[in-house]
Amino acid sequence: MGATASSGMWKTGESAQEQGLGYVPDAYQVPLRDRPSLFPDTVTVPLIDLGGLWKDAVQRSLVIKDIGNACCRFGFFQIVNHGICQTVMDEALQAASSFFDSPTDEKMKYMSNDVHKPVRYATSFKDGVDKTQFWRVFLKHYAHPLEHWMGQWPENPPRYREKMGRFCAQARKVTVDLMEAITEGLGLGPSYLTSKMEAGMQVMAVNCYPRCPNPEVALGLPPHCDYTCLTVVLQSSPGLQIMDLEDCTWKSVPKIPGALQVHVGDHLEVLSNGLYKSVCHRAVLNSERTRFSIASLHSLGLDETMEPAEELVGAQGKKYRGSSFRDFLNFLAANDLGKRKSFIDTLKINQ
């Protein structure tokens, strides 16, 4: 890696991706072996119609089975008929886009590299740190309970709170429904996690990936797994790739109108004692348009420990040690996302 982020190649205060540079500075160029293929195979990921969850017992059990199979095979699926109307989704993406369009001063109010902050804006620009940078700008904020956190979200654009808040509440409802279906499918019963999820966390990662002049050499987000139980993602255009567990290659996820993406996170892998897989994924770039995504990340409370369910441990014993969301934040503060070590690997026992 040649230049560091602090070498003065571009104006200070704003990252290359925010400035719309016509080239990709060295610090953003990922090592050759990690460069993305922008047009790999498109994977036929399961598309699950959630409408069947509320029809009758037979339909419900079929949907639950499909969800369970997808969690084993990919740790990933897409959903339709999830109950969030198109207007709510479109308005949330609009709110995100207008936030990133706001004057720099406005965004700077929330700028922080402290991963423990409940509301923060950041680019991958860390002054003086010599490591690969990613072509992403993001706003993260807590969202549950909504009344508690909303007052700390950006005041501008003026309808940001209202539009994003509506999406957060509905994404949460979908996640509760999905968790009930998942724990039911695991044989733990639908309310196994309900009260812990109610007391749990919802973190929104509102991502902006500006157009990139040379998308072959940079990444929006490096390969990672989410620490969550479940993540529900809304995107404005395609750009997500997932690691196919069967042949260990990257696959593009197609954009299906109206669909949301669902990622199994580390804590669901732990709960299922390894039966379900936390999906490894990354975000690739394009030179044509800015892409937005809104990830709704759901986990138990900050200090609530997630452990393998006793009912699923069996003769092999526990494959993972317990951990909390706070443990993950401490891991994140000490280990950069771009590094190869992942949180789930630190939880595995004797594997």
Strands (E), the chain: 47-49, 76-80, 119-123, 137-142, 201-209, 221-224, 230-235, 240-244, 249-252, 260-264, 281-283, 291-299
205 binds, among ligand OGA, Ni ion, none (CB under 5 to 8 A by kind): ligand OGA
Cα 334 versus chain centre, distance = 19
Strands (E), 36-136: 47-49, 76-80, 119-123
Note whether 233 binds ligand OGA by CB under 6 A. yes
Q: Which two structure tokens, joined as six digits, stand for 42?
A: 């498109």
Closer CB to ligand OGA, residue 48 or residue 295?
295
CA distance 349 to 180: 27
CA distance 152 to 102: 17
Instruction: Outline where 151-229 has alpha helix (H).
Output: 160-185, 194-198
> Nearest-CB residue to Ni ion?
226
Smallest gap, in angstroms, from Cβ of residue 224 to Ni ion? 6
Helix (H) or strand (E) holding 26: none
Smallest gap, in angstroms, from Cβ of residue 12 to Ni ion? 29
Note whether 226 binds Ni ion by CB under 5 A. yes
> Nearest-CB residue to ligand OGA?
293
Which residue stretch of 46-54, 151-159, 231-239, 304-312 sits at the interface with ligand OGA (rule: CB under 6 A)? 231-239
**Contact 300/322 with Cβ under 8 angstroms?**
no
Smallest gap, in angstroms, from Cβ of residue 338 to ligand OGA? 14
Binders of ligand OGA in range 254-283 (CB under 6 A): 281, 283
CA distance 84 to 93: 13
Q: Could you say which of 186, 205, 232, 234 contacts ligand OGA (CB under 6 A)?
A: 205
Closer CB to Ni ion, residue 123 or residue 207?
207
Closer CB to Ni ion, residue 100 or residue 138?
138
Q: Could you say which of 226, 244, 266, 269 contacts ligand OGA (CB under 6 A)?
A: 226
Number of residues in contact with ligand OGA, rule: CB under 6 A? 12
Name the residue among 254, 276, 280 with its Cα closest to residue 320: 276
Note whether 239 binds ligand OGA by CB under 6 A. yes
Smallest gap, in angstroms, from Cβ of residue 77 to Ni ion? 15
Closer CB to ligand OGA, residue 277 or residue 281?
281
240 binds, among ligand OGA, Ni ion, none (CB under 5 to 8 A by kind): ligand OGA
Closer CB to ligand OGA, residue 217 or residue 221?
221
Q: Could you say which of 235, 296, 323, 324 contacts ligand OGA (CB under 6 A)?
A: 235
Note whether 266 binds Ni ion by CB under 5 A. no
Closer CB to Ni ion, residue 4 or residue 231?
231
Q: Are strands 221-224 and 201-209 parallel, antiparallel or unpaired?
A: unpaired
DSSP classification of residue 207? E
Is 323 exposed, middle or buried (CB count within 10 Å of its CB: 0-12, 13-18, 19+)? buried
Task: Count CA within 13 A, CB hemisphere, residue 341.
Answer: 10
| 242 CB neighbour count, 10 Å cutoff | 21
User: Which residues contribute to the site for ligand OGA (CB under 6 A)?
Assistant: 205, 207, 221, 226, 233, 235, 239-240, 281, 283, 293, 295
User: Which residues contribute to the site for Ni ion (CB under 5 A)?
Assistant: 226
